[in-house]
Amino acid sequence: MSANLRNKPVDKRYLRKEDRGAVSNRRAQALARTRARRGQAAYENRRPKNTTKRYKGYNAYAPGIRAQQMRMQELSANKKAAENLRPESIKKPSPLI
């Protein structure tokens, strides 16, 4: 598991008393971080990639309210265009106020 990781033992006889514990601790933490980083990279390389299209917003799988608004605007524009193409006799009479 420690391939390409240099973690040789340190001769603590030549270190000051307060540095003896710190050297081991720092080296152990560095080794742990390196192993964690390697494990995370290996997981990212093996895991299945996301294939579902995602959108921003609260509902991550739908385009959202703006897409619905655009559809409704398009429908009302088509409806107005269709009413304008009708002959005068078939047009809906405007309500009397």
For residue 2, give the nearest of 28, 40, 41 by alpha carbon.
28
95 found inside a domain: no
Are the beta carbons of 10 and 24 closer than 8 angstroms?
Answer: yes
Are the beta carbons of 26 and 18 closer than 8 angstroms?
Answer: no
Q: Is the pLDDT of residue 37 over 90?
A: yes
34 found inside a domain: yes
Domain count, the chain: 1
45 found inside a domain: yes
State the residue for tokens 């409806």.
Answer: 79
Task: Please tell me the pTM assigned to this model.
Answer: 0.38
30 found inside a domain: yes
Q: Is the pLDDT of residue 75 over 90?
A: yes
6 found inside a domain: no
Mind listing the pLDDT tens digit for each residue in 13-22? Answer: 888 888 777 7
Structural domain that includes position 54 = 11-83
